[in-house]
Structure 1
Amino acid sequence: MSLNVEHQYQTIDRIDNTPELAPSISSKRERLEKRLQETEVNYRNIFENALLGMFQATSSGEYLLANQMLSSIYGYDSPTELIANITNIKEQLYVKPNRYTELMELLEKRNIVWQFESQVYRKDGNIIWISENVRIIYDSSGDIVGYEGYVQDISERKHSEEMMQAELAKEKEINNIKARFFSMACHELRTFLTIIIATSDLLKLHGNKLNTKDRLHYFDKITENIKSMNELLEGFIAIGKAELKKTTVNFSAFELKSFCESIWEDVKTITKTTHKLAFQNNCNNLTLVSNKTLLRQILMNLLLNAVKYSPENNTLFFELDCQKNLINFRIKDRGIGIPKEDREHLFEAFHRASNVLNFSGTGLGMAIVKRAVELHGGSIAVESEVGSGTTITVTIPTICTNLHTSNWESKIFCVCDDRDRSLQNSSL
């Protein structure tokens, strides 16, 4: 790209001073000089009007030449302004100065570098992406005096690539979410099916010994669990949408004490446990307005774990503690406990503690608990000692206020997070 075009033409090595040849030699010289001037003008026009940013720079990082396109790419009005303001290309131009260093090192090794991409500053401080094709300039002695090349603004292409990568990452995240929640849904549905099967078997074996009221009670339990299976599927859809920033959480009103007691009844039906439950309720006559399905998943999984990992005939402790703006659900057992090294992984999907490998399970229950608690805007605390048992406390924030709507007076609202407050109010 060098503007020094004289080397493209042969010089006159020998001039005969014979008078007869003088006019001919003078004519040839004039034609050669004219052609040289025309060629230099053509090169200058190409340089100045090129659609690429073209330049020459010293080895110390100062511009010698620049065309209008280069100055436009960097946000300057003219090549003169660019050259006057950029006196240290490495420090003033490159967002990461080490990229300039890498470019120089590559040039020394290869003499020419193609499509070298970097981020640079424009005059206004904005950052753009450029691609450079550069080669070294040598003097007549073979020493490096600088480098020259051309620049393209590739910001639009890089933006498209980033958008594409973001879309691919989002698609991957969606697929992971689908796979994860499919596994979790299977785990939870198995719980409901176990209740239904156990209740059905009980009716088959002892139905003729039960009175009408008891039989209806068990039939109602089957119906209720079928409904719960449907609610569960909706719950997982809600969690999945929440993962994708689409909050569609439904609220309903229910009496908290009887809700907790019904979950314990289901746990007993599933496990046929001989455990006893010491239930302490400090939230008397409390109606909670919340997402019933998500809260059920929390308590069901915690109670199932307490039964599974505690010796038979033990007593489990379940405490409800209501304070001004929160509810604590505390479940304590005297079971095998959780090893210290496993506690930090307790809520990871499919992770199982080293001391439960002889127990059946998928490692999904606590992951479900954690996500459901997070959707309530709550927190979960774990205290455990191997051989002595585990205490898990779930804290969920509430809104303790009387609403203007008469049907909901004196109710406590259990909200998921700030995004759900408007949804909650609109659903009433």
Structure 2
Amino acid sequence: MKQILLCLEPSNLRQAIAQWLQNHEYRLVEGTIDSASFDLCLIDRPSLDRDRVLILDRKRSAFELLPVLLVCDQLESIDLQGVDDVIKLPIDWLELQVRLTNLLQSRQYLQAFQAVERDRVDAEYESVFAALQGNHLGLQRLVESSVIGFVIANFQGQILDANDAFLALLGYTRSELRSGQVRWDVLTPPEYQERDRQIIEELRETSIFREYEKEMLHKNGDRVVIQTGGALLSEAEETVICFVLDVSDRKRIEDERQQALQQAQEVNSLRSRFVSLVTHEFRNPLNVISGTTQLLERYPDWSAERRADCFRRIQAAIARMLELLDDVLLISRAEAGKLNFAPAPVAIEAFCDQLVEEFKLGSGREHRLIFTVQGECGQPALDEKLLRLILSNLIANAIKYSPIGSTVTLELMGQPEAIAFRIRDSGIGIPIEDQPRLFEAFFRAQNVGTTPGTGLGLAIAKQAVELHGGSIAVESEANQGTTFTVRLPIATTPN
């Protein structure tokens, strides 16, 4: 049973969360963030501000992932340092279940990996140090081993002797060793030199140095990841004996495991965002449909005009749900590389002019929409359907996040080898810290507030741009408006 620490101020919310956790077979633990034994901590903003230093200290000192899930009503001006995930108020219990599951699974994956790696490393070093402390025959056999490298070197970096395993590891011969060409300091990349100097001081003080990981330079210039440790042989002569283990394969496997863990966390995050999207974005149209249907059933004698208005509301809600489903299916096809790309000559000026006129009659009727043309544009070979996706999403966002009555501009620019589009608005802008993730599916900037949206439009636009072999860039700051620039090459082949 997973143990949950509740760092929530006393309230009805705390009681509701505690009751829900107990009903779902989680165990509540008592204590503070710095002393309690727990698998996950649920915390509110006052407790986070008060205990942040304790959280960071606990995370630094622990040898395992200790997830912290923040419960808050808004993200603006919150320092998320020490927080692993966030759930907004009011609590959606399905979303809470998904976020708890994702964080606890990530902790379990990391614990399993650490346990396996710890056992393997302990076994390796127990074998090495047992041999070093054994009798002369055992030590001789170990030194002559073709698996573990051994080196006798002095504090000046000169290698006085080495076994065949060490020489083979770095590609040198015994004659090169005797001639002085094989030196520890020369074989050590610059970024490890300071650590080696610290090791020398450690040897002077304690006569041993604990194993650590570093890279050494192979004769061919490649880098070899090794694990080394050792002991002082002669204080007067300042000589040391070291063992050297080739851990390149282990390091590669470890990196692959870390990458797999990261991918699993990304999948869990994507799943959380998708569940959050479905629960929030579908709820409003479903509520409209449900509520309007109940009204129609309750008041069968309403006038035809009033009933027609109800049916229009239901149809609009259904259209919104279908639009959301279309976006999800479209981004799935795009990420799977299954979007069709069929370039053909497009009368680009007329196309853009018509698109702007459509927005003037629809969602942009309360804004000032301007379309301008620079240079010769002609009829470039573009995929008209994908182009409509690109420009429609960018213009729709510019309208959505700009105040009523403000100006939204579409500039069409003919260039020698490309067609460029620039969409400008004077809206809420995009915080600089959010821009690196702007084109991720389901991602939304932190300042969008309650403005509805799925976080799919820009991801779809970017996929369509890349199919053209083009580029999309953004210039923006919070409250300073936004400019998107799309550049599509004229001579286009499927990407």
**Shorter-chain-normalised TM-score: which range?**
0.5 to 0.7
User: Which whole-Å deviations, capped at 9, do the CAs of 1:53-100 have from their partners, x for residues lacking one?
Assistant: 22322333323322222222221233x422324464223345622232
Alignment of 1:379 onto 2:467: no
Alignment of 1:124 onto 2:220: yes
Alignment of 1:89 onto 2:184: yes
Summarize the Cα distance change of 1:281–1:193 in structure 2 as closer, same or farther, 3 Å threshold.
farther
User: Which whole-Å deviations, capped at 9, do the CAs of 1:320-341 have from their partners, x for residues lacking one?
Assistant: 44332435364656xxx659xx
Alignment-derived partner of residue 166 in structure 1:
259
Mean Cα displacement is larger for which, 224-233 or 114-123?
A: 224-233
User: Which whole-Å deviations, capped at 9, do the CAs of 1:11-52 have from their partners, x for residues lacking one?
Assistant: xxxxxxxxxxxxxxxxxxxxxxxxxxxx99x98676445643
Alignment-derived partner of residue 395 in structure 1:
485
User: Which whole-Å deviations, capped at 9, do the CAs of 1:240-283 have from their partners, x for residues lacking one?
Assistant: x3xxxx54435689965555555565538xxxxxx634444558
Alignment-derived partner of residue 344 in structure 1:
432
CA distance in 2, matches of 1:89, 1:302: 61
CA contact (8 A) 2:331 2:460 kept: no
Summarize the Cα distance change of 1:201–1:373 in structure 2 as closer, same or farther, 3 Å threshold.
farther
CA distance in 2, matches of 1:378, 1:209: 47
The structure 2 residue matched to 1:299, chosen from 392, 395, 414, is: 395
Shift of 1:303: 1.6
TM norm structure 2: 0.51
Shift of 1:128: 0.9
Aligned-partner residue type, residue 135 of structure 1: A
Shift of 1:179: 3.4
Aligned-partner residue type, residue 169 of structure 1: Q
Mean Cα displacement is larger for which, 198-207 or 188-197?
A: 198-207
CA distance in 2, matches of 1:45, 1:108: 28
The structure 2 residue matched to 1:134, chosen from 220, 223, 230, is: 230
Shift of 1:133: 3.1
TM norm structure 1: 0.58
Aligned-partner residue type, residue 166 of structure 2: L
CA distance in 2, matches of 1:195, 1:280: 34
RMSD: 5.0
The structure 1 residue matched to 2:419, chosen from 326, 340, 347, is: 326
Quote the sequence identity (%).
16
Alignment-derived partner of residue 229 in structure 1:
324
Aligned-partner residue type, residue 176 of structure 1: S
**Which stretches of structure 1, 4 residues or longer, exceed 6 Å deviation after superposition?**
42-46, 190-207, 214-223, 283-287
Alignment-derived partner of residue 150 in structure 2:
54
Alignment-derived partner of residue 66 in structure 1:
162
Aligned-partner residue type, residue 172 of structure 2: Y
Summarize the Cα distance change of 1:293–1:190 in structure 2 as closer, same or farther, 3 Å threshold.
farther
CA distance in 1, matches of 2:287, 2:398: 17
Structure 1 residues 240-319: aligned runs within 5 Å:
241=335, 246-250=336-340, 259-262=355-358, 267=363, 276-281=366-371, 288-290=384-386, 292-293=388-389, 295-306=391-402, 309-310=403-404, 315-319=405-409
SS at match of 2:363: helix
Shift of 1:122: 1.9
CA distance in 1, matches of 2:432, 2:171: 52
Shift of 1:146: 1.0
CA distance in 1, matches of 2:378, 2:162: 81
The structure 2 residue matched to 1:105, chosen from 201, 220, 226, is: 201
CA contact (8 A) 2:371 2:410 kept: yes
Alignment-derived partner of residue 17 in structure 1:
none
SS at match of 2:156: coil
CA contact (8 A) 1:115 1:131 kept: yes
Alignment-derived partner of residue 151 in structure 1:
244
CA distance in 1, matches of 2:314, 2:420: 33
Question: How many residue pairs get matched?
Answer: 330
CA contact (8 A) 1:238 1:248 kept: yes
Summarize the Cα distance change of 1:156–1:380 in structure 2 as closer, same or farther, 3 Å threshold.
closer
Mean Cα displacement is larger for which, 319-328 or 105-114?
A: 319-328
Aligned-partner residue type, residue 238 of structure 2: V
Structure 2 segments unaligned to the other structure (5+ residues): 1-127, 129-134, 466-470
Alignment-derived partner of residue 179 in structure 1:
272
Shift of 1:136: 0.7
Summarize the Cα distance change of 1:200–1:82 in structure 2 as closer, same or farther, 3 Å threshold.
farther
Shift of 1:120: 0.7
CA distance in 2, matches of 1:54, 1:374: 54
CA contact (8 A) 1:94 1:120 kept: yes
Aligned-partner residue type, residue 400 of structure 2: L
User: Which whole-Å deviations, capped at 9, do the CAs of 1:167-190 have from their partners, x for residues lacking one?
Assistant: 222222333344345545666657
Aligned-partner residue type, residue 163 of structure 2: N
